A and B are shown apart, each in its own frame.
Chain A
Amino acid sequence: MQKQQKTIEQKNYEKLQGKHELKRPIAKNCLKAFLVGGLFCTVGQAISYFYIYFFNFTEQTVGNPTSATMVFIALLLTGFGIYDRIGQFAGAGSAVPVTGFGNAIISAAIEHRTEGFVLGVGSNMFKLAGSVIVFGVFSAFVVALIKTLFGMLGG
Chain B
Amino acid sequence: MMRRLCLQLLFTFTLFLSGCASNGDGKTERFALLKETNPKPMDIIDATDSKIGDEEAVKKEVIKNDHIYDVVIVKNGKEMLVAYKIKHMHRFQMKQVEKKLTKDLNKKFEGIHFIVSSDYKIFLEAVRLNKLLRENEIPREEAKKEFKQIVELKEEKT
A residues near B, CB below 8 A?
49-50, 52-62, 64, 76, 80-82
Contacts and interface: CB of A to CB of B under 8 A. Distances in A.
B96 to A, nearest CB: 16
B121 interface: yes
Interface string B143-158: 0000000000110111
A52 B121 contact: yes
Given A49-B33, A64-B158, A57 B6 contact: no
Contact of A59 (B6, B17, B120): B120
A64 B33 CA distance: 21
Interface in B41-76: none
Given A60-B156, A60-B157, A53 B24 contact: yes
A contacts with B: majority SS:
loop
B73 to A, nearest CB: 19
B9 interface: yes
Contacts of B2: 80-82
A110 B97 CA distance: 49
Contact of B154 (A49, A56, A58): A58
A62 B121 CA distance: 10
Given A53-B30, A55-B20, A56-B121, 19 more contacts: A49-B33, A50-B17, A52-B121, A54-B23, A55-B23, A57-B121, A58-B119, A58-B120, A58-B122, A58-B153, A58-B154, A58-B156, A59-B119, A59-B121, A62-B121, A76-B9, A80-B5, A82-B2, A82-B6
Interface string B19-48: 011011000001001000000000000000
A54 B30 CA distance: 10
A80 B6 CA distance: 9
Nearest to B152: A56
